[in-house]
Amino acid sequence: MLWDYQQPVAIRFGNGRVREIKDVAASMGLTEGGLLVSEQLFAQNGTAEKIVKDSEGAISEIFSDFSPNPDVTEVDKAAALIREKHLKFVVAMGGGSAMDLAKSAASIALTNDSIAEYHGTGKAMPQEHLPIIAVPTTAGTGSEVTCVSVLTNRALGKKAPIVSDGFFPSVAIIDPELTYSVPPHVTASTGMDVLSQAIEGYWSKGHQPICDACAIHAAPLVFKYLPIAVAEPNNAEARQKMCEASVIAGLAFTLPKTTSSHACSFPLTNIHGIPHGEACGLTLDWFARINKDAQHGRVQEFARAIGFEDVDAMADAIHELKVKVGLRTGLKDLNLSAEQIADLVRISRHPNLYNNPVEITDEMLQDMYEHLAATD
């Protein structure tokens, strides 16, 4: 077995560490020209302004004009601001949406291109980019340590990841206190993304030992701490452990890549508006059962390593976790027509599907979506 491992992002983890932004920037020689891409809540409640003030001139602009599952036009707007103000680095403070927008903007700003030219077209991103400091505010995507930027082109009805080495942030500052304000349903959904990334990173065709170890570390933390973080948003231990799970699951999947559940999540989010993590979790137990005997027993070994008797018991626990934290377990409320099910099958045929350890046929997808369409 041949494998490579590389992880270029410096990680600073712990409560209160958001206050280190200025020092981190200074240590990179960045003392002016910073753009803070900020989650809207933090732009509204004064947190973003305080970060700008505390930066003592290092950060001069705030951009918060973007939506969840950011659109290519929003990336272009951020890039235009960087060009217009001759900005030199980007601090991305928010969930995956903020970080992914910032990553693409930090690259595209050094060209005159629209990000749409690179989104889902196969055109390689330019390697030059502005330095990025990533500050996640959800325990979810792990985007702070990945080379991925997931964007949406609403005009074309397309959501897809762009991958570029230039997207790796230089530094990730993970401050669990920033996640206390995340509402319960967003906590649940983003936490389910963590679990999906750990499990899919492990069973991906591109699996490798270091990422396996990360997946085995991250997954049990989600089973234990997600229900607590949802029920008690200010529970410091649960928030800290979910942030730990999130960054380590990010390390678990960024090289192996995600698989079937992520492939199916794209149309579920794009067409039916189901939040990203909830959409991933919707199919995770189904694919666990499909993959259970794959890779000469590796998937069974994973289930045992994280404390279950076998993969079926792990799949049952995923289902129970969804129920406990209030995430959907079916699509019955959407009253899907046969045509809508056919669309889901067709659009799930995303490149990530081919990383799944078992070949997924259209018939398997049809079966799954028919089952979900009939389930509450």
| Residues binding ligand NAD (CB under 6 A) | 39-41, 68-69, 94-98, 100, 137-138, 140-143, 146, 148-150, 178-179, 181-182, 186, 190, 193, 276-277
Helix crossing, 311-325 with 298-305: angle to 10°? 50
C-alpha separations of 228 from 183, 187, 239 in Å:
13, 10, 9
Q: Which lies closer to ligand NAD via its Cβ, residue 190 or residue 261? A: 190
How many C-beta neighbours within 10 Å does residue 316 have? 15
- Please choose, from the candidates 211, 293, 292, 303, the residue with its C-alpha nearest in 3D space to the C-alpha of residue 250: 211
Q: Minimal distance in Å, beta carbon 198 to ligand NAD? A: 12
Q: Minimal distance in Å, beta carbon 293 to ligand NAD? A: 27
Q: Which lies closer to ligand NAD via its Cβ, residue 55 or residue 189? A: 189
Q: Minimal distance in Å, beta carbon 95 to ligand NAD? A: 2
Round to whole Å and give the CA distance between 98 and 94.
5
What single letter denotes the amino acid at residue 234?
Answer: N
Side-chain-side CA neighbours of residue 13 (13 Å):
17
Q: Minimal distance in Å, beta carbon 309 to ligand NAD? A: 30
Q: Which lies closer to ligand NAD via its Cβ, residue 97 or residue 355? A: 97
Q: Minimal distance in Å, beta carbon 147 to ligand NAD? A: 8
Q: What end-to-end distance do the CA atoms of the chain give, in Å? A: 43
Q: Minimal distance in Å, beta carbon 167 to ligand NAD? A: 8
Q: Minimal distance in Å, beta carbon 32 to ligand NAD? A: 27
Q: Minimal distance in Å, beta carbon 137 to ligand NAD? A: 4
Q: Which lies closer to ligand NAD via its Cβ, residue 142 or residue 267? A: 142
C-alpha separations of 309 from 200, 214, 291, 343 in Å:
19, 20, 16, 36
Q: Which lies closer to ligand NAD via its Cβ, residue 179 or residue 261? A: 179
Q: Which lies closer to ligand NAD via its Cβ, residue 138 or residue 260? A: 138
Q: Which lies closer to ligand NAD via its Cβ, residue 141 or residue 300? A: 141
Round to whole Å and give the CA distance between 206 and 3.
9
What single letter denotes the amino acid at residue 61?
Answer: E
Q: Which lies closer to ligand NAD via its Cβ, residue 68 or residue 126? A: 68
Pairing of strands 158-163, 148-153: antiparallel
Q: Which lies closer to ligand NAD via its Cβ, residue 37 or residue 311? A: 37
Q: Minimal distance in Å, beta carbon 5 to ligand NAD? A: 17
